[in-house]
Amino acid sequence: MTNPLLARAAKSVFRYGGTFADFVPVRGEGSFLYDASGRRVLDFTSGQMSAILGHSHPEITETVSHWVGKLAHIHSSMMSEPVVELSEALAALAPPGLDRVMLLSTGAESNEAALKMARMATRGYEVVGFGQSWHGMTGGAAASTYSAGRKGYGPMSVGGMAIMAPNAYRPTFLKSGKHDWQAELDYGFELVDRQSTGALAAFIAEPILSSGGILELPEGYLAALQAKCRERGMMLVLDEAQTGMGRTGSTFAFERDGVVPDILTLSKTLGAGLPLAAVLASEATEALCHERGFLFYTTHVSDPLPAAVGLAVLKALARDKLAERARVAGDRLKAGLEAIMAEFDCVGDVRGRGLMLGMEIVRDKDSKAAAPELGSLITDRAMELGLSMNIVNLRGMGGVFRIAPPLTISDDEIDLGLSILRDAIKAATLRKAA
C-alpha cells in the first residue's frame, strides 16, 4: 500500500530524478532510519553519502540548537567567529598549500567556485574531467559532469572535455594482461591536446568516482595526472565531496598518493548531512584571484550556523579517531563483501577504500554483462529486509552498489548489513531464475 505522503507528493512535488522510495522515514538515529510504524532500516549510504556521524548525532543536534538561537545567518559581507575558526581548522588539517578557505553550502557550489578560481588564476577557460564524473548540477559543475544529466538542456559551458577514468575491472588499455592506466592517461591527454585551443585551465577529479561506479584512481595515478596538468599550466582540482573527512581511512583521500591539489573542494561529509561545503586553495591563488576581481557572493557564503556544525564534525573526527575507524571497519565490510562475491556468480567485483566501497552486479562473472533488472531486484529485496542500498547503472558497466555507511557504524551493524545483503542477493537470483 502506497504511503499517503507519497500520494500527496505526487500532486505537489516536482520530480528531480527517479521515483521516490516506498519507505518514508520520520526519524533517524545512529545508523538507522525509522518510519511511522517503528520499522527500522539500516542506512548503508549515510543518507546522500553525507551523514558520516550517523543520524541525529547528539553533538550536531546540540550545535544546531545553540547556533540557530544565537546567530544562524548574516550578510555575506560580514564575518563571524565560527567561520574563522573552521577556516583555521581546515587549513591546519590540510597540507601546506591549502591554507585559504571559502565556506559555501553544496558540492556543486564549491566546484563552481573552484573552477572560477582556476579560470581566473590561469586566464584559461577549458576544463577537463572524467567521462564517468559527477561534480554537481549547476552550470560549470554540470558541464564537468559526464556520468549523467547532460541531455535535453542545450549547450554546456564552452571548453569542456573528458577522458576515460581508469577501471581495473573493465580496462580499456592492457599491457601483459594487466590494466595499463598510464597508457590510458597518455592517450586521454593526447586527445585533450588535439582539442584544446591553448586555454586549458583545470582538470577536476574525484579520487574515487562515486556516481561513476566507485572507480578508485590507482596508486600513482594522481601524481601522473598532476604532472600532466603542470606540463600544460593547468590547475588540479580535487573534489572530495564523498571521500573527504576520513571516509577512505585518511582525512583526505589524496593523502595516500602524496599529492597536494591546487584546489580542494569538500562538501557532503564536512557537514555530516547538513549543507556545508568548502574550497581550499593556496595563499598565492587567493591573492591573485582577489587582485583580478574574483567575485563569488552567494546567499549563504560564510554563514555561522553551518560553520559551527563543521567544527563539531572535525572535533568528533579527531577525538573518536574516525578515519582509523573507517579503515578498520572498511576492512571488515570489504572482507564480508568479498565473501559474498565468492558465493554468487552475479557479483563481479568488489572495490573501493575504507567505508566507501562498491559491489558490481553482473549477469555472470565470465561475461561481465550488465544485469540492471537483477540489481533492482536486489535493491528492492534489501529494503524489504531492512537495508537501504543505492545502485547506479552506467553505460558499459553492471549495476554498482555504492556502500558508504556512517563512520560510526558498529561491527554488529556491519555484520547485519552483510547478512541482509546476502539474503537479498539469494532471494533475487532465485526469483530471476524462476
Residue 102 amino acid letter: M
Specify the range with the lowest mean pLDDT, choosing from 21-25, 343-347, 349-353.
21-25
**So what's the pLDDT on residue 368?**
96
Alpha-carbon torsion 75, 81, 86, 89, what sign? positive
3-state secondary structure of 115: helix
12 pLDDT tier (thresholds 50, 70, 90): very high
| pLDDT of 9 | 93
CA distance linking residue 216 with residue 351, whole number of Å: 8
- Does 133 fall in a domain? yes
Residues 357, 227: one domain?
no
Tens of pLDDT along 373-408?
999 999 999 999 999 999 998 888 889 999 999 999
Alpha-carbon separation of residue 378 from 37, 346, 359, 383, 433 (angstroms) = 24, 11, 12, 9, 13
Q: How far is CA 344 from CA 8, 99, 422, in A?
A: 40, 48, 9
- The catalytic site residues sit at 134, 206, 239, 242, 268, 402
Q: Which residues of 48-85 are buried (b: 16+ CB within 10 A; e: fewer)?
A: ebbbbbbbebeebeebbeebeeeeebeeeeeebebbeb
Q: Give the CATH number for residue 242.
A: 3.40.640.10
- Do 195 and 83 fall into the same domain? yes
CA angle 51, 354, 263 (to 5 degrees): 75
Q: Are residues 231 and 86 in the same domain?
A: yes
Residues 231 and 264 in one domain: yes
Q: What is the dihedral of CA 87, 290, 225, 158, to 10 degrees?
A: 120
Question: Residue 200 and residue 216: Cα distance in Å, rounded?
Answer: 25
The whole-number average pLDDT for the span 254-272 is 97
Mean pLDDT of 43-62: 97
One domain, residues 287 and 389: no
Distances (CA, A) of 87 to 52, 155, 281: 20, 36, 11
The range of the structural domain enclosing residue 357 comes to 4-57+321-433
Residue-wise pLDDT tens digits, 265-300: 999 999 999 999 999 999 999 999 999 999 999 999
What's the pLDDT band for 27 if we cut at 50, 70, 90?
A: very high
Do 298 and 371 sit in the same domain of this protein?
no
Say if 144 falls within a structural domain: yes
**pTM above the 0.95 mark?**
yes
pLDDT at 2: 77
Question: Which of 319, 348, 372 delimits the end of a domain?
Answer: 319
Domain end position, chosen among 272, 291, 319: 319
Q: Are residues 274 and 300 in the same domain?
A: yes
Alpha-carbon gap, residue 402 to 397, rounded angstroms: 14
244 shares its domain with 339: no
Last-in-domain residue among 252, 285, 319: 319
Say whether pLDDT at 433 is over 80.
no
Whether 332 and 375 map to the same domain: the answer is yes
Residue 1 has pLDDT above 70, yes or no: no
Does 169 have pLDDT greater than 70?
yes
In a domain, 425, yes or no: yes
Domain at 377, CATH number? 3.90.1150.10
Q: Report DSSP letters for 324-349, one per residue.
A: HHHHHHHHHHHHHHHHHHHH-TTEEE
Number of domains in the chain: 2
Whether 62 is in a domain gets the answer no
Do 142 and 264 belong together in one domain? yes
